[in-house]
A and B are shown apart, each in its own frame.
Chain A
Amino acid sequence: MHDLGSFLMQTLQGLFYLLIFPGGLFALSLGLLFKGVDRKLEARFQRRVGPPILQPFIDCVKLAGKEEMVPRGAPRAYFVYAPLLGLVGMAVCAALLPIPGVTHGMTDMGDLLVYFYLMPVPAFALMMAGSSSGSPFGALGFSREMTIMLAYEIPLLLVILAVALLVGAPASAEFSLNEIVEFQLANGSFGLNPVMMPALLAYLMFLPGTMGVPPFDIPEAETEILEGPLLEYSGAGLAFFSLTSAIKSIVVLGLGVVLFFPGTLPGGILVNIPWFVLKCFMLMLVALTFVKVASARIRIDQAFRFYIKYPTPLAALSLILVWVSR
């Protein structure tokens, strides 16, 4: 009976992580809130009034009530489940996310390598959506999404390796997110470590690419290919994509905080949750909002060249420095 009890306990705990905190509800609402603030800020930078901050919530509720159209000739199952795939992938990511000083996330799985495999899931979902919608715009979006993903995953991998090697020094590599947090709490944040600064810069450049905001909103370029893969989506399917992107923003920003600025404040959960949110917000401001309002969309070939030319060598530099110094 004891085994059953602990099994139930663990399952409930897992579900809590997945559905309420730090994944699920928490990440979702925080992501949508960030999106609203981001839109408002962008509008104010452009001297517009902008939508209400809660607009992303309103949009999702509205979309949920709309009819979902499936284009004629599209493989129905693919088309309908593509958005769900992305959402589930991101929900798992969010559940694994440790919030320093608050929660360890799902510890037995919280691993950078799992992250590396799960983070491209929304991009895969977009590709599935693009290829199954049967529209030439979707096909173009598919190929663009694939190109840019290949470009930004390389620096991400190098950043992850640099962090893992630094934490695991001198003998091995450490991929556990909680160990990484502990290490930094003991030895100082990587964001302030000169050896890791290039990797931080590379991660900041990775963010707009993976979030698909200007100048890297190429797969969904509205004025070129009409939102590409999303063109044929409506109703709940479209809402799922928007929820996916909301959770994804928390996942990638939160991972940035975990990898580079996991410092905590004394005062327990009530202080550290807002502290984490604030750090995520600052990261969004620097890497997404400011970049977005100050840039034009570049072409896919230019984006690919950019990722090969700047973030990749930067992340590689950190990796080499870590390797040499261990």
Chain B
Amino acid sequence: MTNERQTLTLPVGPLHVALEEPVYYKARIEGERVRSLSLVMGYVHRGMEALAGKRNLFQNVVLTERVCSLCSNSHPLAYCTAVENLADIAVPPRAQYLRCLAEEVKRIASHLFNVGIMAHVIGYKSLFMHVMQVRETMQDIKETVYGNRMDVAANCIGGVKCDLDGELATFIRAGLDKLKKELDEIIRIYRHDKMIRGRTVGVGQISPLDVVRLGLVGPVARGSGLPVDVRRDSPYAAYPELDFPVITEDGCDVHARAMVRLREARESIAMVERILDKLPAGATTAPLPPIPAGEAVARIEAPRGELFYYLRTDESDKPLRLKWRVPSYMNWEALPVMMKDCAVADISLIVNSIDPCVSCTER
């Protein structure tokens, strides 16, 4: 007998039931254990950064909205904020609040989607269906307020496109009241259900030290007890006035990350209500000055973590360079650590727990 153990390459992806988007995970497995993991990516590269240089500054609002569907509000918001930083545009307070509204509505929908998919991955079909159905409330709100279920097109340079009247505010409140009760129940299920706990607690562990070392962001970092949140660390829009806690969990595992998402969704409901309470009157867009040459950055807390935009312009109406770094780009690095010696059964579960966004990463 030699010391060489028998290993097998398990090709998870690029097409796989549990993956929403194509990535090829090459897992070296030994029996039911994963020994190492490497990623092959690039299946949905669309050359969007190059496209951005061919479009003018206004057209890019539309382009960035199409980077990915679940964070489709964070990208244009980050882009618009970068342009506003560059040209020193003061966004009116009402628009600031409405931007937060769109962000939080999208965040609730995105987080619920992720925990729903988690239930699907562990084969809990009834819970998956239930969560997706509860999430429909948010889709309805998006459709009623913005006229669209995914790409809400809320932002423009200098403000927002959609204003809110009393009737819409009442509709949102009614939807949230309904959602609140259902979400509380879902949180209780995820926290206490024995089957969910049996599959997720202790799975895909990543220590806070590794989180810092790899620069992980968003719910992945917060699930390991690190209070990293751009909304608080580097406030933008109306977040400084919204008074919200940064939610963390100490489990460092798949379960903790799901709980962070659920509790954040719950917190976002409270934030939306606060936004509706405090919504100041006034204009929703600022007058536009000419955009000068120069460079600027913007940071936004997308549902998956910190989203970073860099913009450089010359005198022309097209950006010289538009570059973005998405949260998933950082979080991919966590996978080999989380999957060290995990069971084959947990591969797709762990992948889902970082809520990867391939179309963001590859754009």
Residue positions of A touching B, CB distance < 8 A: 42, 45-48, 136-137, 139-140, 143-144, 214-215, 217-218, 221-226, 293-302
Q: Are B348 and A298 in contact (CB under 8 A)?
A: no
Q: Does B8 contact A (CB under 8 A)?
A: yes
Residues of chain A with a CB closer than 8 A to B133's CB: 47
Of chain B, the residue at the smallest CB distance from A297 is: B123
* 10 closest A-B pairs by CB: A297-B123, A296-B124, A223-B18, A46-B129, A296-B195, A296-B122, A223-B121, A293-B126, A136-B10, A299-B345
Q: Does B282 contact A (CB under 8 A)?
A: no
The 17 sampled A-B contact pairs (Cβ below 8 Å) are A46-B126, A47-B129, A136-B10, A136-B29, A139-B8, A140-B10, A140-B344, A143-B31, A221-B123, A222-B17, A222-B123, A223-B120, A224-B18, A295-B124, A296-B123, A298-B198, A299-B343
Residues of chain A with a CB closer than 8 A to B126's CB: 45-46, 293-294
Of chain B, the residue at the smallest CB distance from A218 is: B345
Q: Does B347 contact A (CB under 8 A)?
A: yes
Min CB distance A141 to B, Å, is 11
Residue positions of B touching A, CB distance < 8 A: 8-11, 16-18, 29, 31-32, 119-127, 129-130, 133, 195-196, 198-199, 343-348
Q: Are B125 and A298 in contact (CB under 8 A)?
A: no
In the complex, A137→B9 CA distance in Å? 10
Residues of chain A with a CB closer than 8 A to B8's CB: 136, 139
Of chain A, the residue at the smallest CB distance from B119 is: A296
Residues of chain B with a CB closer than 8 A to A215's CB: 123, 195
Q: Are A296 and B345 in contact (CB under 8 A)?
A: no
Residues of chain B with a CB closer than 8 A to A48's CB: 129
Residues of chain B with a CB closer than 8 A to A137's CB: 10
Residues of chain A with a CB closer than 8 A to B127's CB: 296
Residues of chain A with a CB closer than 8 A to B343's CB: 299-301
Min CB distance A220 to B, Å, is 10
Residues of chain A with a CB closer than 8 A to B198's CB: 298-299, 302
Q: Are A224 and B130 in contact (CB under 8 A)?
A: no
Q: Are A298 and B347 in contact (CB under 8 A)?
A: no
Q: Are B348 and A223 in contact (CB under 8 A)?
A: yes
Q: Are A300 and B32 in contact (CB under 8 A)?
A: yes
Partner of B344, one of A46, A224, A295: A224
Q: Are B130 and A46 in contact (CB under 8 A)?
A: yes
Residues of chain B with a CB closer than 8 A to A301's CB: 343
Of chain B, the residue at the smallest CB distance from A222 is: B17
Residues of chain A with a CB closer than 8 A to B11's CB: 136
In the complex, A301→B347 CA distance in Å? 16
Of chain B, the residue at the smallest CB distance from A213 is: B123
Min CB distance A244 to B, Å, is 22
Residues of chain B with a CB closer than 8 A to A293's CB: 125-126
Residues of chain B with a CB closer than 8 A to A42's CB: 125
Q: Are B344 and A225 in contact (CB under 8 A)?
A: yes
Q: Are B344 and A214 in contact (CB under 8 A)?
A: no
Most buried by A among B125, B129, B199: B125
Most buried by A among B10, B18, B195, B345: B345
Residues of chain B with a CB closer than 8 A to A217's CB: 123
In the complex, A296→B254 CA distance in Å? 15
In the complex, A143→B345 CA distance in Å? 13
Min CB distance B136 to A, Å, is 11
Contact (A296, B199) CB under 8 Å given A46-B126, A47-B133: yes
Residues of chain B with a CB closer than 8 A to A295's CB: 124, 195
In the complex, A218→B310 CA distance in Å? 46
